[in-house]
Amino acid sequence: MLTFNDILKLAKNGNKAPKKRVEKTLEEWKELLTEEEYYITRERGTEPGMSSGLCHIYEPGKYACVCCGTILFDSNSKFESKSGWPSFTEPVKDNVISYFEDNGHSMNRIEVRCSTCDAHLGHVFNDGPQESTGLRFCVNGIALKKV
């Protein structure tokens, strides 16, 4: 089971290699994504809290990267965090998410990105459900598509 200490080590020392890579120019991403999707995933934006319809969906299924389609999360790990963004306790595999130190906005956080295409997803915190991993992957709903 992945722990916050594991994530800190990955952010500092390097991430696990993904199964495959998808690389496109920024112009190619602009052609494929909506303006909002591009802003969130390519410019490291944040959608307004409670703005995503995915916040309140808990039916069985998987959540994929909106950019490349890589499956990132399973609905079994989704929970109501009351944070305003879809939240998960763990990714589906240990190599689908990459972790990076983020010291912007006068905060020390760990940014999470899709390891296949480097899409910014959100951040991970160590204030998730203790009966599970203790992790809270706080993800922009715009960066995900339910499949």
Active-site option among 65, 68, 117, 138: 138
Q: How many domains does the chain have?
A: 1
Per-residue pLDDT tens for 69-112? 999 999 999 999 999 999 999 999 999 999 999 887 677 899 99
CA 108 and chain centroid, separation: 17
User: For the chain, where are the E strands, in sequence order?
Assistant: 62-65, 71-74, 78-79, 87-88, 97-102, 109-114, 120-125, 136-139, 144-146
Residue (of 38, 18, 39) closest to 29 by Cα position = 38
Q: 18 CB contacts (<8 Å, ≥6 apart)?
A: 70, 95, 96, 98, 115, 116
For residue 132, pLDDT beyond 80: yes
What are 85's two structure tokens?
């963004």
CA 21 and chain centroid, separation: 16
Known catalytic membership, residue 138: yes
Range of the domain at 51: 4-146
Q: Which residues are bridge partners to 36 per DSSP?
A: none
Per-residue pLDDT tens for 10-56? 999 999 999 999 999 999 999 999 999 999 999 999 999 999 999 98
What whole-number distance in Å separates Cα of residue 46 and Cα of residue 138? 11
CATH number at residue 130: 2.170.150.20
